[in-house]
Amino acid sequence: MTSVEKCQDERLRIVHIITGLASGGAQTMLHKLLRHIDKGRFDLYVISLRGMDDIGPRLEGLGVPVITMHINPRMPSPLKVFKLIMALNDLKPDVVNTWMYHSDLLGGLAARLVGIRALTWGIRHTDLSAAANKRSTLWVVRVCAWLSHLIPRRILVNSNVASTSHESAGYAAEKMVVIPNGFDMAHFVPSLVSRSSVRTELRLSAATPLVGVIGRFHPQKNHLGFVKAMAELHALLPDVHFLLVGQGIDSGNHGLVAVIHAAGVDGICHLLGPRTDIPRLMAALDVLALPSVGEAFPNVVGEAMACAVPCAVTDVGDSSWIVGETGRVVPAGDMSGLAHAIHDLLKLPADERASLGAAARERVATLFEISAVVKQYEAFYETLASSRV
């Protein structure tokens, strides 16, 4: 019996350490992974360096214990770091998977201090430019690049572009393993009922074209830049409306509201803030737009495609690979190009746009279906636990 086969016959204890559990791409993927992983083969624990936030209770609802450290990752208290070390010592995991830079650094050092060698870092970011990151984050990246040759046994990344950018930053290239994000095809589905109910909620006619941007307010998401695209598209298609959803995307964001008003599109722009009915909102769209200037593997694109919604995206991270031939891709930062790409999709005959949406859903089912992606994680953990390297 090989060491991998032995691991497959025994339950493995996996501890995930993540910087925090507020909604985000990493937290969403962690939740999906723990929801679908084989709990007959893996004992699962999550340690949040911060608190529970909104994803923590959802993880506990899956039967996964969540331990909170309430550490400020930028100024970690030695006492709380010691608490993290003791938690790992008590749990005695077979594998530790850290998620995000501060967790890679603190969680990785803590794991090695208690003698855990089966350690993988998790990277879910691409753009390492000074313009797109805080100075403190780039400092952590530089430290992690140096430590990557010493601390983790493997480094999990969710996109090919993220792997390349971090190798260029000095990370250990030979340790990189790419596993893409996965999508639940039973959760994100086409729905005429959703299309109708969302338009009723927004007081729009059934025929109103609806373009969505879904994601928290952050410079890399480029909501302010997208306002230019909205104005151009409105000039081409006066009846189009825009649905913007995410943390910080509401009337309390005075800067965003002012830019929207100055562009003359406030009457056709719906700022819904954070929502819990994302599958419903996705299925109501005619086009999903991704105006980001920096991404690794954007979840929203795969989610929209699973709902048979064509996407117009900027060429950031693995967006182009995700979309393939089922949507439109423009250079990062080209908001005029994005407006015209959305226009092209909206002007397609209804049957052609439906065929494009069906092809998008099929592409996600073929390449990124969550069960297949989770199997890659399971095999990765078993190999990591059995490795003597």
What is 228-276 written as a DSSP string? Answer: HHHHHHHHH-TT-EEEEESTT-STT-HHHHHHHHHTT-GGGEEEEES-S
Looking at the structure, do residues 99 and 175 belong to the same domain, yes or no? yes
Q: How far apart are CA 275 and CA 270, in angstroms?
A: 13
Q: Which long-range contacts (CB under 8 A, 24 or more apart) does 233-236 make?
A: 233/339, 233/342, 233/343, 234/264, 234/265, 234/268, 236/339, 236/340, 236/343
Looking at the structure, do residues 220 and 160 belong to the same domain, yes or no? no
Report the Cα 330 to chain-centroid distance in Å: 20
The tens-digit pLDDT sequence of the chain (389 residues) is: 444 554 556 899 999 999 999 988 899 999 999 999 999 999 999 999 999 999 999 999 999 999 999 998 888 999 999 999 999 999 999 999 999 999 999 999 999 999 999 999 999 988 888 877 889 999 999 999 999 999 999 999 998 889 999 999 999 999 999 999 999 999 999 999 999 999 999 999 999 999 999 999 988 899 999 999 999 999 999 999 999 999 999 999 999 999 999 999 999 999 999 999 999 999 999 999 999 998 888 999 999 999 999 999 999 989 999 999 999 999 999 999 999 999 999 999 999 999 999 999 999 999 999 999 999 999 999 999 997 55
Q: Give the DSSP H or E segment for 62.
A: none
List phi, psi (to 5°) of 208.
-65, 125
What is the rounded radius of gyration, in angstroms, for the C-alpha atoms of the chain? 21
Q: What is the per-residue pLDDT for 8?
A: 54
Looking at the structure, do residues 177 and 205 belong to the same domain, yes or no? no
Looking at the structure, do residues 373 and 355 belong to the same domain, yes or no? no
Alpha helix ranges (H) inside the chain: 3-9, 25-36, 55-61, 78-91, 101-113, 135-147, 160-168, 192-202, 223-236, 254-262, 278-283, 299-306, 319-323, 335-346, 350-367, 370-386
Total structural domains within the chain = 2
Specify whether the CB–CB gap between 58 and 50 falls below 8 A: no
Pairing of β 95-99 and β 311-314? unpaired
Q: Is residue 233 part of a domain?
A: yes
Q: What is the per-residue pLDDT for 125?
A: 86
Specify whether the CB–CB gap between 225 and 259 falls below 8 A: no
Report the Cα 325 to chain-centroid distance in Å: 22
Q: Is 59 helix (H, G, I), strand (E, B) or coil?
A: helix
Q: How far apart are CA 198 and CA 183, in angstroms?
A: 22
Per the listing, tokens 């965003």 go with 256
CATH number of residue 53's parent domain: 3.40.50.2000
Looking at the structure, do residues 381 and 257 belong to the same domain, yes or no? no
Looking at the structure, do residues 261 and 149 belong to the same domain, yes or no? no
Specify whether the CB–CB gap between 211 and 241 falls below 8 A: yes
Looking at the structure, do residues 362 and 373 belong to the same domain, yes or no? no
Looking at the structure, do residues 24 and 171 belong to the same domain, yes or no? yes
Q: How far apart are CA 123 and CA 26, in angstroms?
A: 9
Specify whether the CB–CB gap between 11 and 43 falls below 8 A: yes
Looking at the structure, do residues 89 and 202 belong to the same domain, yes or no? no
In sequence order, which residues have a C-beta less than 8 Å from that of residue 61 and are 6 or more positions away? none
Q: What is the per-residue pLDDT for 387?
A: 79
Q: Is residue 290 part of a domain?
A: yes
Instruction: Report the alpha-carbon angle 137-141-147, nearest 5.
Output: 145
Q: Is residue 12 part of a domain?
A: yes
Looking at the structure, do residues 175 and 313 belong to the same domain, yes or no? no
Looking at the structure, do residues 177 and 318 belong to the same domain, yes or no? no
pTM: 0.85
Q: Is residue 348 part of a domain?
A: yes
Q: Is residue 187 part of a domain?
A: no
Q: Is residue 319 part of a domain?
A: yes
In sequence order, which residues have a C-beta less than 8 Å from that of residue 293 and are 6 or more positions away? 127, 132, 219, 220, 222, 225, 314, 316, 332, 333
Q: How far apart are CA 265 and CA 251, in angstroms?
A: 14
Q: How far apart are CA 208 and CA 218, in angstroms?
A: 28
Looking at the structure, do residues 26 and 89 belong to the same domain, yes or no? yes
Q: Is residue 241 part of a domain?
A: yes
Report the Cα 166 to chain-centroid distance in Å: 17
Q: Is residue 78 part of a domain?
A: yes
Containing structural domain, residue 80: 3-182+369-386
